[in-house]
Amino acid sequence: MLALGVERVTLALDAASEHVYNRVKGRHWERFSGLLREAARAYPGRIGTHLIIGLGETEAEAAAFLQEMHDLGVLTALFAFTPVPGTALEGEQPPSEVSYRRCQVARYLIVNGLARAEQFRYSAKGEIASYGVPAGVLEEVLRTGEAYRTSGCSGCNRPFYNERPGGPLYNYPRPLSPAEAEAATALVMASLTH
């Protein structure tokens, strides 16, 4: 398809690590993650993937995956896990809002060249404790609200794709109001050790 002129192909790996992939999607992590890496090398900047937060990965695993994909030139779209009745994962919980926000910030910093996952510090549970960016600089970057917007394909805003209309709104499909950006940023900043 890419050879025929398709602009981008997305191979939805969904999981940040082999143990999560095997638990959720079955086997063959090596096969599918290898295909994604091979496609990225063959078609630089024209491959995308999805990362679903809340499948059992740590934030450290998510950040490492985001960094690897960015380094390969793969555009990664973030999704929050949404339990769907009648599926094998219907009894699982979506990620906490603060965990999802920390992962959004990680993606934003990585994709925009403001930090690398190797700079981040993590708690014993694998939660992001610091991005290795001065607090004042981080707050200034985050107050724009861009980090909390829907990520992935250009022009795709997916309203209510992985959230309920009653909230929480994981991916904002539009520019955030100053109050929304401030609330999301305050949530993230309060969770960090800087």
Q: Percent helix, strand and coil across the chain, each rounded to 5?
A: 40, 10, 45
The gap between the terminal CA atoms of the chain, to the nearest Å, is 45
| Ranges of the chain whose pLDDT falls below 70 | 159-161, 194
Q: Which of 96, 190, 72, 71 is nearest to 142 (CA)?
A: 190
pLDDT of residue 26: 85
Q: State how far the alpha carbon of 157 is from the alpha carbons of 12, 128, 145, in Å.
A: 17, 26, 14
pLDDT of residue 99: 98
